[in-house]
Structures are given as C-alpha cells and as structure tokens.
Structure 1
C-alpha cells in the first residue's frame, strides 16, 4: 500500500504492464510466450518501457535496502562474492549452474530453434532470448540470421589492417585491434556527437551491437585464414544460412558435425552473468558511454588473459603431458597416482574448479553428451572421461577444494581437436565471438535502463585499518 501512494497513475499503469510482461519472462520455463513480431528490434523495444517502470518502482521502494555484507577479505580477494552489479541476461547459481533468462542449458537445447536437419540450438535464438526474455520462433531466428548476413561486410581499412598484421601477432591481439578499428562505423558515437537524447541511447547501441556481432565471424575468419590457411579469402556469406554455418564455411571446415559443434559452442559460451572479466570489462567501459566496439574491445583484452579465456589451452597442454607421461590408455590407478603426484608437487588439475559453481559445469555436460554421440571412441575424449571419474574424489579428499567438478574448459578443446582445429592460440577468438552475444545484449539493456557511469569507492590499506579499527 505504501508503494502505491508513492506512484503516479501512469507509473502504476506501466508497472502493471511490467508485471504482466514479467509473468512471461524469465519466461517461466514452462508455458513460455512467443512474440508476434519477427523483427528483433521491435520485440526488444516493446520490453523497454514496462521494464524501466518496474525497475523505477523497485528502486523507489527498496533503494536503501542493504544487500549482503562486504568483508576485508572480499576487498583484497578480487571482490569475490560481492554483490554490486545488475545483469539481466543470465544468472550463475552455485548449485543449478547457468540460466539464460531463467532457462537452463538443457532447456535451451530443447526449446531454441535449430537449423534444418540440425540438433543443436542456433546462437541467433539465444541472442533473441537474452535481449527479450522470450523463446523465438523459427521465423524470428531466420530474420536475425538474414540481418546478420546483410550486415557482415568489413570496411576496407579493417581488412587491410588484418592482412598486414605480422604472423607473430597473437590472434587475440589481432581480434581486439580489429574490433577497436571497427569503431569507425559506430552509429552510437555519431548519434551522441549529434546530441541524441539519453533516453534513446539504446537505439544506436542496438544497431552497433547488431553490426558488430554480424562482422565478428568475418574478422575471426580473416585472422584464421591469414595465420593458418596461407591467406585464403573467406568464403562469401550465404544469406540463406545461419551465423555459425557461414563462419565454419569461411574458415574452410566442411564437416556438418563441426558446424553443429560450432552452433553449440557459440551458444553456450555467450554469457556467464556480469562479474566475469570479459562481461564486467565490457560493461564498465560501456558505462563511460564508449560505443560497443570500444567496450567489447576492452572485454576481449580481458578474455585474452591466462586466468580467463586461455583455460582450455591449458587443459590441452595438461592432457598432452598426461598422454606423454603415462599414455592415452592409462587406467584409473595410473591416473590416480599421476593426479596425486601433481597435487603434492603444488600444481593444479586444469579444467577443474570454478569461482562460483559448486557442481559439474552444465557447459561441460552438454559437450560431453555431444562427444558421446559423435566421437565416443576418440582416445583423447576417453582420457577426459576417465579423468572425470578420477579427479573429483581426489580433490574432495584433499579437503581444500570448494568445487572439485570439471568446468567448460575441461572439454571444449578436445572437441575442437577432434574435428581438426589444432591451433590452440585461436581458441580464445572462438570464445570471443560467442561472448559478444552476451555482453552486447547486456550493453543494450544498460543503455535502455540508463545505468550510470560505474565508479566504485576504493580505499588504502591504512584507511581500511582505521575503518575497521584494526
């Protein structure tokens, strides 16, 4: 009742609309509602007003409510566990795993549209879900595929830059540089310079995000072909095919199962709530009203770090070492002895553990299921599978590990190797192409909600000691 007296009739009307909309999304995993329009922008725009009203009403009622407590260890420990961000697109629950707008990965595999004859979800469908909270129809997904195909061409200066990079420049450095250079095409930067009202910022940010996502496979394919295909020109975009299919064709992979793998890979790596480095960096730079190109570039520079996007490479290096030391056909006892020796020497088992999750990463599970269907007899997969049964009990026995279960990186590299993509330095570029879907959809919502410049307060150790009376 108190809240009602604080709101105008107009706010109450918008709030009632917002509640109606929220009853369908996170689109209550059973009985979801499909939007009538095949146009993603219109479907997204219809969400903005009601959700703005919902957020406004919530802040008016609970703006001073405290959420958790921050400890000194959190401040020194990388802000782990601190609740300080709002991200609408996905939530990472320690026990349930990732949920995209309320949907689990198995939900997405089941409900999101597939390519004709395919079994894996299309990334276009997940992007629609992240933006709108609604499961799209096949027609809606096809409209996104066609739109991305129409927006995919690179400006000549970016092509020239990519073609003139030295071969010893890391693929992620090339990827980030090209994304920054694409900023010449920014519709948001131009609209801001022309004095666009802040209530409309979301519109050119949406357009930039759509352009950027459309161009990323072409950027990634140009890098791959220059480094590993003797500078081959990427195959032309087919407007009748999906985003992942066009990407695999551009880098010369014809196996339809590799295309299926890419559809799955590019779907499950998109988003992982807002606190990971690539998502947070993109959001942070975007809060300064840098355009999506510069914002994503910042996120990709973070993704390139060994503690974020390079983990699947470390897993492959580890698996290669296991194979060399005790063989691909090592039995459980040999693996147990090897893992214990590793731990006692102060090393870790790459691909195990997670900053938030306390169960097997659902992204690992769906890749494992893919492998069981398509490459059950592959020796490297069998080694990964055997480690899955051996490592968690050992890590639990040490009593020092909060999460002894495998994460997404424990599996992805093995699948890529099986289909012939042996170039480990390139794997993070694939991760980056996928992650753009999540962080760009969040950027559009950041501007739609008018989120301000992010500027947390920092303290010196001396000041912190005084504060806690140490």
Structure 2
C-alpha cells in the first residue's frame, strides 16, 4: 500500500514538474537562443580559445558549411601523421600523446623514457584504496565507480585544493596513471560481486604502458597478443582529445573556471562522458548490431540489411529514434579521421581473430547508410561513419566487456581534459557564466490559506 501511494505521489509530482518546466520551442527562436551552443548553420558558437586540439570537418563559404575531409590535430600535429610516426617505429603511442597534450611539445627519447617512469610509479592505487573503495563498495556501473573513486582520491591528497600549475600537474599525472587501474579493478569487482565470477586483482606492471596494462589487469591469465595491444593503444590515442568544444572538455573548462579543485573538475567531465549522446554512444552501436543480428536472417545479404536499415531510419525498428548509431557527427562531414584509422586496424584484428565476416557487417552498414541517406535527402547530402561505429567492434574483438567501453574512453580522454584544465587555469581566470533569457511571468506570492487545492 505504501509503495503504491509513493508511486502515485511521484507520478503526480512528475506531471507537475513536467508541466511547469515546459518552454515552447518558438520562444527559443524569438529570443535568438543558440540551442546546444550551435549557430543556425550548424557550426558551434565560439566561447573560448584553445591550442590543445583542433577538429576540422568542413569549410565555411559565405557562412555556409561546405563538406570536407575530416582532420584532427593535437597541438597542431595532424593525428594521422602522429599515428603513422609511432606505428612506423613499431612502438606504443599513447604515453607520447599524453606528453604532447599536457606540455604542447613532442618529447625527446630521454624525456619520454622519464615520463614513462613517472607514469609507472603512479599506476598503483594508495594503500587500502582497492579494498576499501573498490572491493567493499562495488558498483554495477564502472563510470559511477570511477567518479566516486576520483572524489575519494581528493581526501587522500595532502594538498587537494592548491590550483598552482605545479600541483595541478601532479594531480593530473596521478589521475591519468590511475584511471586504468581504477576501471580495471572496478570491472573485476563488478564481475565478481554482481556476475558471480572469480575475482582477479593483478597489480599494474612497469614498462608495458597503458594499453597493455589494461589488457593485463582485466584478463584472468594476463595474456594478450601484440596486435591486441597495438590496436588498444591506437584506440587510446584517437580518443585522447577532441577540441575544447566537446561536451566533456567544455565541462572541464566550465568547472575549472570556478576555481575548484582538480578532482571536482575531472569528476564533472566523467559525468558528462557517461551520457549516451557522448561517450556512451559506442554501447548504442553494439545494441543496434545485436538488434540487426536478431532481425536480419542473413546479415551478409546487403539487400536484407539495407531493408532493415530503412526500417531503423523510419523509426520502425531498433530504438524507434530513427538513428543509425555510428553514422554522422556534429563536425565531421565527409570523413572522421579517427574512424578511418580504427577501421584499418579493426580489419587486421578481425583477420587475426577470424571475424572478417562480422567486420564486413560494420563496413556494409557504413556503405549502405551512405546510400540510404543520399536516397532520402539527395545526392549532395554528406554523412560519414564516426569513431563509435568501429570502436565497439574493436573492443568486442578484444573480449572487452561492454561495461568497460565508456570507462576506456574516459581513461583515454582524461589526458585531453587535463590539458584543457591547465590551459583554463593559465589563460583565463574569468568564470564561465553565460546568460539564460527568462520566459516566465512575475507573479504575486499567495498566502497558504488562500491557495487552491
């Protein structure tokens, strides 16, 4: 009876909240509101300056977006050139990427070796942290566990609120090094306490880097191939940074501008990334793929697949949202350079794992979606696969459980968040405080006895 009462009460309150928080869409145009901080032509409203990352996906000609091949720059260096550089030398690249983002220059060989040693020294979690914070308080959601862990690390920092660059840099490097350990242990605790699996807590190893440490810590036997390590390292590099305007980086700027501590700023960024419109999108791709497999009798048949994709677009299948997840991007038009890089390596791994047929499903979804949108919106319409289309597939090939997909994104993107936090503290002490136009009328206060039921 009590439960039914509460359900009805909350239902009525929800209706009241929804009714009195509705703002008619026409008012946004009337007040010239840049919804989502977007201009009418789809470009982003410029609210700040950054030298950390640059995302290019179109050209502006007379304020009209003209599609162009996508480019991504880290500190002015083309991502494709950066990846080509470390892969041609047959070495990992993520730690070099972190250094570049934080300090704005490429490290020398000696500087990179020293930086790797610093990261190795910081990968271990503080004493009793694993037992008390992770194992004794397991969470079904590892992003939630990550947020809580960051805030607990604040309480174990002897100087948490000092926002001098030297102190913030120390905090950032420690968090960058510890994120992989936290999410790996968070997964092990979740798998043990909620999925009844055996518990494996492997200490991070020195000298093998971030990607290999994750594979080492999440697998019971610690085994992985060189191809697996290489593609996870690549995934971390291409997820490390995406300009100051992406939702989580902007959240970092906003919260940092208030003068708060590093742990609070990074926790806010993790909360942003958790959203399905941001870092959680690759999970939606995986869910869509599972739905396609369940409803298309022959996924290798392009005609059958195209028919079902039509149903998804017409909101007759999958989520009913009319979205083909993994297709389209707010900035990229002709191509997403991250997707291009990951797609190539995904094929290599698919060959190693004897999963080429499944790789072809993703490739066909990409190609058929392009055809469908041109048929729907005209030959001039451009859309491209984004990084989420292939990242989930790569993680699946690596036998990484879906609940780790977004935490892995966070473990990569924290390097960009930290670079943006330092940039905000160095360059701009003004608190970010945009305006909201008020649409409600002023009304007189009514005494309680005079109010209607």
Q: Same fold (TM over 0.5)?
A: yes
Distance 1:216 1:429, change over 3 A: same
Partner of residue 364, structure 2: 386
Structure 2 unaligned segments of length 5 or more: list them.
1-27, 39-43, 58-67, 316-320, 442-453
In the alignment of these two chains, the number of paired residues is 381
Distance 1:74 1:236, change over 3 A: farther
Given candidates 412, 418, 430, the residue that maps to 1:434 is 412
How much does 1:399 deviate? 1.6
How much does 1:392 deviate? 1.0
- The 5 A counterparts of 1:77-96 are 77-80=35-38, 81-94=44-57, 95=68, 96=70
How much does 1:113 deviate? 7.2
- The 5 A counterparts of 1:54-453 are 75=33, 77-80=35-38, 81-94=44-57, 95=68, 96-112=70-86, 117-118=90-91, 121-156=92-127, 158-159=129-130, 160-167=132-139, 169-186=140-157, 189-191=160-162, 201-228=164-191, 230=197, 232-252=199-219, 253-256=222-225, 257-327=227-297, 329-345=299-315, 347-376=322-351, 377-378=354-355, 379-399=357-377, 403-421=382-400, 423-453=401-431
Distance 1:98 1:117, change over 3 A: closer
Distance between the aligned counterparts of 1:71 and 1:137, measured in 2? 52
Q: Is the 1:328–1:380 contact (alpha carbons within 8 Å) kept by the matching residues of 2?
A: no
Distance between the aligned counterparts of 1:375 and 1:145, measured in 2? 30
How much does 1:414 deviate? 0.7
How much does 1:106 deviate? 1.3
How much does 1:340 deviate? 1.5
Distance between the aligned counterparts of 2:71 and 2:153, measured in 1? 34
Deviation per residue, 1:415-447 (Å, 9 max, x gap): 1111212x2122110011111010101112222
Distance between the aligned counterparts of 1:150 and 1:441, measured in 2? 21
Deviation per residue, 1:371-405 (Å, 9 max, x gap): 22231451321100111211112112222896521
Distance between the aligned counterparts of 1:73 and 1:225, measured in 2? 50
Distance 1:91 1:74, change over 3 A: farther
Distance 1:165 1:275, change over 3 A: same
How much does 1:457 deviate? 2.2
Distance 1:185 1:417, change over 3 A: same
- Please give the secondary structure, in 2, of the residue aligned with 1:375: helix
- Please give the secondary structure, in 2, of the residue aligned with 1:98: strand
How much does 1:239 deviate? 2.5
Deviation per residue, 1:118-165 (Å, 9 max, x gap): 4xx421111111123322233322222210111122224632121122
Distance between the aligned counterparts of 1:188 and 1:453, measured in 2? 23
Deviation per residue, 1:243-290 (Å, 9 max, x gap): 222222122252122222221111111111111221111221111122
Distance between the aligned counterparts of 2:174 and 2:228, measured in 1? 25
Distance between the aligned counterparts of 1:71 and 1:84, measured in 2? 20
1:458 maps onto 2:436 in alignment = yes
Distance 1:73 1:90, change over 3 A: farther
- Please give the secondary structure, in 1, of the residue aligned with 2:37: coil
Distance between the aligned counterparts of 1:186 and 1:88, measured in 2? 29
Deviation per residue, 1:70-121 (Å, 9 max, x gap): 986873521122110222210111233321122222111122478x854xx4
Distance 1:206 1:74, change over 3 A: farther
Q: Is the 1:322–1:328 contact (alpha carbons within 8 Å) kept by the matching residues of 2?
A: no
Q: Is the 1:328–1:383 contact (alpha carbons within 8 Å) kept by the matching residues of 2?
A: no
Distance between the aligned counterparts of 2:165 and 2:48, measured in 1? 19
- Please give the secondary structure, in 1, of the residue aligned with 2:54: strand
Distance 1:216 1:353, change over 3 A: same
Q: Which moved more, 1:155-164 or 1:255-264?
A: 155-164
- Please give the secondary structure, in 1, of the residue aligned with 2:162: helix
How much does 1:224 deviate? 1.5
Q: Is the 2:138–2:189 contact (alpha carbons within 8 Å) kept by the matching residues of 1?
A: no
Q: Is the 2:185–2:201 contact (alpha carbons within 8 Å) kept by the matching residues of 1?
A: yes
What is the Cα-based RMSD across aligned positions, in Å? 2.5
